[in-house]
Amino acid sequence: MNIHKSIKNLLSIEESIKSKILSKKIPQIIAVSKTFPLADIFPLIKHGHINYGENKAQEAISKWGEIKKTLPKIKLHMIGKIQTNKVKYVVSLFDYIHTLDNIRLAEKIANEQIKQNKKLKIFIQINIGDEKQKNGIDIDNLYSFHKQCTKDFKLEISGIMCIPPINLDRQNYYIQMSKLKDILGVQELSMGMSDDYLVAVKNNSTYLRIGSKIFGQRG
């Protein structure tokens, strides 16, 4: 049998991770399938892979809306910027949100979850490199933001997420994330992409978001 390229890639990523894991917790691999059509994702689904990441609500609905009803095991992760007018679609389709980065969005998600009687697992996105153009909560505001999300809006905050600055040593950012996770008392760390997932694994990442290394370069 011919093994599909994406499966080969996934298996080799899993193999490379094994030697780097310090804790007992094996990180989940989110196959970031944004821009790829279902036809390219199917081999991985058939292989039994569960976690997939998308960054646009519209694209995710047209791609996953129907198929997800027939595949209840699949978990969808929202990893892109969420417009507040898209929240109802995001809550209805996705299982995880990795990009909660403002209070208005937190409130919208909370209201929508009540309406839909659904509770997503949510990550607070942190602007770990303190970059002007990047989304995410500043470290200084993290504690109060987290408290508002959990106490006022009753959101299930599973962990924190970051996209570190490019072209800089990622290690320091990931060490900092791991410390913030412990300070906040949350369980999960969403960090590490195709080019730095092993650095993330060494620093206790529990959700890796890997796209091109699995599916190939995006067009």
Ligand X SMILES: *Cc1c(COP(=O)(O)O)cnc(C)c1O
C-alpha angle with apex 15: 13 to 18, nearest 5 degrees? 110
The correct pick among 13, 41, 44, 79 for binding ligand X (CB under 6 A) is 79
Own/partner pairs, 24-27, CB within 8 angstroms, 24+ separation:
25/206, 27/192, 27/200, 27/201, 27/205, 27/206, 27/207, 27/208
Q: Which residue is nearest to ligand X (CB)?
A: 211
Nearer to ligand X, 178 or 190 (CB): 190
By CB under 6 A, residue 105 contacts ligand X: no
Lookup: tokens for 24: 């007992």
- How far, in Å, CA of 56 to CA of 68, rounded? 16
Q: E strands within 21-153?
A: 28-32, 51-54, 75-78, 96-100, 121-126
Question: Closer CB to ligand X, residue 14 or residue 154?
Answer: 14
Q: Is residue 63 near ligand X by the rule CB under 6 A? A: no
Q: If binding is defined by CB under 6 A, does position 108 make contact with ligand X?
A: no
Counting residues that bind ligand X (by CB under 6 A) gives: 13
Does 164 engage in binding with ligand X (CB under 6 A)?
A: no
Stretch of 14-22, 143-151, 181-189, 203-211 lying at the interface with ligand X (CB under 6 A): 203-211
The footprint of ligand X (CB under 6 A) covers 32, 34, 55, 79-80, 163, 193-194, 209-213
